[in-house]
Amino acid sequence: MWAGIGDALSKEYEVVFACRKKNMTHTPLLGKAIAAASTEPLINFGKKALGDCKNNVPTEAIEQVALDIIITAGLVSNFTVHENNPDHAEDYYYNSSLAHCVYYGASLFPQCEQQHLHGEIVSFGVLCLLTYDGQLEERNRFFEFNHSIGLPCTLGEIALTPDDVPAIAHKAASVVEWKYVPGNPTEERFINAILATDKAGREFLANK
Ligand SMILES: [Zn+2]
């Protein structure tokens, strides 16, 4: 559930970001609208749900978070991906974006990939996406949330260092999500966003 929260944190930000400046049709538009419902339950119920899980108490908080991770995220995924059409003209892949790109890049490093869960790494990726997109106030809100439930705010918490970042960005530029990043993404801009996130995260933790 802990890593599931980290993974589901990506849904609204990645989908809304990937859909930007696209010619949207009915089904992905529905997916984008549903994605907008995925963040708040995690913020409102996530910490309590984790505590209730530890204590083996069935509560509404657990139910709300489970519905978010499984149902909301599942619906959005089904509505926002359409691939491998014969002529590829109608293909789209709005289901994930730069947060998962951080995960794909991080998976190159065994010390990260073997010791840290998918959703844990993705939750750091969400911070990087928000930095990349200039949503710094929202990112700072997620420093607080991540830290409150033990999700990472820095590269070091997922066994990575700034030296690893160019390889992460290079891998990111090779995956399907990269094609749907709005604007003209460059590895350099992504590297700078990840490094800036790590720096801000270290400053955030130093003041805790
Ligand atoms: Zn994921």
**Which domain CATH number covers 30?**
1.20.1090.10
Query: Mean pLDDT score of the chain, rounded to an integer?
Result: 96
Q: pLDDT value at position 106?
A: 98
Q: Confirm if 95 and 15 have CB atoms less than 8 A apart.
A: yes
Q: pLDDT value at position 178?
A: 97
Residues 66-81 pLDDT 10s: 999 999 999 999 999 9
Query: What is the 64 CA–ligand 1 centroid distance (Å)?
Result: 19
The answer to whether residue 18 sits within a structural domain is: yes
Query: What is the 188 CA–ligand 1 centroid distance (Å)?
Result: 24
Q: pLDDT value at position 144?
A: 98
Q: pLDDT value at position 87?
A: 72
Using pLDDT thresholds of 50, 70 and 90, give the confidence band for residue 84.
Answer: confident
Residues 111-134 pLDDT 10s: 999 999 999 999 999 999 999 999
Q: Confirm if 79 and 38 have CB atoms less than 8 A apart.
A: no
Task: Tell me how far apart the alpha carbons of residues 44 and 42 are, in angstroms, rounded to a whole number.
Answer: 6
Query: What is the 85 CA–ligand 1 centroid distance (Å)?
Result: 24
Higher model confidence: residue 84 or residue 45? Answer: 45
Task: Evaluate if residue 152 carries a pLDDT over 90.
Answer: yes
Neighbouring C-beta atoms of residue 176, cutoff 10 Å: 12
Q: pLDDT value at position 119?
A: 98
Neighbouring C-beta atoms of residue 30, cutoff 10 Å: 16
Query: What is the 68 CA–ligand 1 centroid distance (Å)?
Result: 13
Going by C-alpha positions, the residue among 128, 18, 134 that lies closest to residue 77 is 18
The single-letter code of the amino acid at 144 is E
Number of domains making up the chain: 1
Query: What is the 205 CA–ligand 1 centroid distance (Å)?
Result: 25
Query: What is the 78 CA–ligand 1 centroid distance (Å)?
Result: 14
> Which residue carries 């869960």 as its tokens?
117
Using pLDDT thresholds of 50, 70 and 90, give the confidence band for residue 85.
Answer: confident
Residue range(s) defining the domain that contains residue 81: 2-203
Using pLDDT thresholds of 50, 70 and 90, give the confidence band for residue 140.
Answer: very high
Q: Report CA-CA distances (Å) from 105 to 74, 102, 112, 124, 155.
A: 24, 5, 10, 12, 12
Query: What is the 39 CA–ligand 1 centroid distance (Å)?
Result: 14
Query: What is the 119 CA–ligand 1 centroid distance (Å)?
Result: 6
Query: What is the 66 CA–ligand 1 centroid distance (Å)?
Result: 15
Q: Confirm if 201 and 127 have CB atoms less than 8 A apart.
A: yes
Query: What is the 122 CA–ligand 1 centroid distance (Å)?
Result: 7
154, two tokens: 């820095």
Q: pLDDT value at position 83?
A: 85
140, two tokens: 């700072």
Q: Where are the alpha helices (DSSP H) in the chain?
A: 2-19, 26-35, 39-54, 60-66, 73-80, 98-106, 110-113, 118-132, 136-149, 165-172, 176-179, 187-206
Task: Evaluate if residue 59 carries a pLDDT over 90.
Answer: yes
Residues 162-178 pLDDT 10s: 999 999 999 999 999 99
The answer to whether residue 208 sits within a structural domain is: no
